[in-house]
Amino acid sequence: MSFLKTLRAAACVLALGLVATSVRTETVVATDTGALGGVGEGAVTAFLGVPYAAPPLGPLRWRPPQAPAPWTGVRAARDFAPACMQKGVSMPGEAPPRVSEDCLYLNVWTPARHADRPAAVMVFIHGGGFSNGATAMPLYWGDRLARKGVVVVSAGYRLGPFGYLAHPELSRESVDGASGDYGLMDQIAALRWVQRNIGAFGGDPSRVTIFGQSAGAMSVSLLVASPQARGLFQRAIAQSGGMFEPLELAPGYRLPQAERDGVAYATSVGAKSLAELRSMPAEALLGGKANAVGHPVIGPSVLPLSPYQAYVEGRQAWVPILIGYNADEARSLADVSQITAASYKAALDHTWGPLPPSIVGAYPFTTDAGAKAARLDLERDLRFGWDMWAWARLQAGASRPVWLYRFAQTPPFPAGSPRAGWGASHFAELWYVFDHLDQEPWAWSAADRRLADLMSSYWVNFAKTGDPNGPGLPAWPAFDKAARRLLVLIGQPVVGTVANPDQLHAFDATYDAVRGTAFGAAAKP
């Protein structure tokens, strides 16, 4: 067996919390659709590939998720289900997942039972730009968090055109007169499954935390804004993602333009009607202008308001929130190797189109090296930093608790690997949050291991109590708009402040001008 296969086999054992020489035992749990047989030993039991909705095939393509069919006997829950339809991967260096349109399944990791009180629940929403991602990715396995006394759930959801297509014919057949957001409906259906069933796994349905990274974090911001998700979770964690920019700058996220984009997409794949779209093979639907219909839609059904507007009107979920971003977010996403001071503007326009001069000018440079650094800093804040800064202020302005972090630890990504030179980049915190350093044979330091234990403990404490602080952990002060305090997550975390408020205020001023109102105007206490 090759080294890679040996490592993967060992990781599979790790996922279930097992020792290679131990005897696996089956644990049977009854759900509202039938009995499940999970596998485990000692500290953790895993239930994999659990259906939470009917396969969205044929006439169920582009419809809200339907209830899964019940079964008799004990259904084996030992293997991950395929990921939802997609092309490519969600993270450089990731193995391409097995995919299928039949993909609405979730996974549950449960700790050893304790009779005194049900365990808090953490529901993970994977990232991937709403177009990629898989719950079977080893990095996302919940075994290590479960060892700290929480039940962990991860759920697949429809992606790309399968998850977010808006189209006039779809809107006409909907009782709400809207279309799109099927992937978000899937996430809500999974949370409803948790409410109905998690007690049978030892979980507490009154202590559910949703947590996600990148597009998963954006999904968290949407769930906080969605009235359909109200009451399905009591806390929220978002890692590097939110949706708080003005919709005036993204008209495709509003239903009228999204429907027009959907018509153009249908034409691009050779379909003249919804019936033809539903009859096409799943693989064919990943072509054409799929990227134009692979994002959430603000409309009258699932998302009547954007997250920003929900906060302004005081119609968001009133739950504690833990959010943050990484110091070097853009290093894993933007190639700046060829950027010079002379080519900076053309390269930026090629990627983003003309950006407001007030924002571009907030990241000055004079040298080629400075141009590279400016581009990385601008992309960090444009994609992630400003959203987290805005979200923290909106949450604090609503007099609700919020803890903000900046992840600044550089993992030991090996030279020559797809992750070499990433620094504290997008994705980098995931190994620490899930306490999964041992999944990679890298030169982890004692500081890395300490930080993984601390971060996973902060996340678990927050899920248990609504506050990340706990015995033996460095104090993490709540964010407030005056002090702007956050926790810098490094080998030995330290309390700091928002690093570049002047640059972030440049976004505020630009977005205020677009909206025609000051940031957070009319927000209710």
- Assess whether 169 carries a catalytic annotation: no
Give helix then strand counts, H and E, for the chain: 16, 13
> What pLDDT digit, counting tens, does each position of 315-362 carry?
999 999 999 999 999 999 999 999 999 999 999 999 999 999 999 999
pLDDT at 18 over 50: no
Task: Determine the residue type at 276.
Answer: E
- How sure is the predictor about 9, in pLDDT bands with cuts at 50, 70 and 90? very low
pLDDT at 16 over 70: no
- How sure is the predictor about 523, in pLDDT bands with cuts at 50, 70 and 90? low
Nearest CA among 34, 44, 157, 156 for reference residue 107: 156
- How sure is the predictor about 522, in pLDDT bands with cuts at 50, 70 and 90? low
- Assess whether 426 carries a catalytic annotation: yes
Residue spans per domain, the chain: 1-58+70-319, 326-525
Gyration radius of the chain over CA positions = 22
* pLDDT mean over 448-477: 98
| pLDDT over 70 percentage in the chain | 94
pLDDT at 109 over 70: yes
- In angstroms, the Cα distances linking 311 to 17, 63, 273, 283 are 40, 29, 38, 39
* pLDDT mean over 68-89: 97
Q: Is the dihedral of CA 296, 298, 304, 307 positive or negative?
A: positive
pLDDT at 236 over 70: yes
The residue annotated as part of the active site, out of 126, 167, 295, 426, is: 426
pLDDT value at residue 350:
95
pLDDT at 7 over 90: no
CATH code of 326-525, in short, is 3.40.50.1820
- Assess whether 329 carries a catalytic annotation: yes
Lowest model confidence (mean pLDDT) among 116-120, 380-384, 438-442, 456-460? 116-120
- How sure is the predictor about 22, in pLDDT bands with cuts at 50, 70 and 90? low
pLDDT at 5 over 80: no
Q: Does domain 1-58+70-319 have CATH number 3.30.1200.10?
A: no
pLDDT at 8 over 50: no
SS3 (DSSP) at 111: strand
- How sure is the predictor about 115, in pLDDT bands with cuts at 50, 70 and 90? low
The residue annotated as part of the active site, out of 214, 226, 306, 457, is: 214
In 130-187, beta strands by DSSP E: 151-155
Output the six-digit token pair for 472. 């033996």
* pLDDT mean over 282-302: 95
Task: Determine the residue type at 432.
Answer: Y
Query: Is there a common fold for 1-58+70-319 and 326-525?
Result: yes
The residue annotated as part of the active site, out of 94, 245, 329, 429, is: 329
- How sure is the predictor about 23, in pLDDT bands with cuts at 50, 70 and 90? low
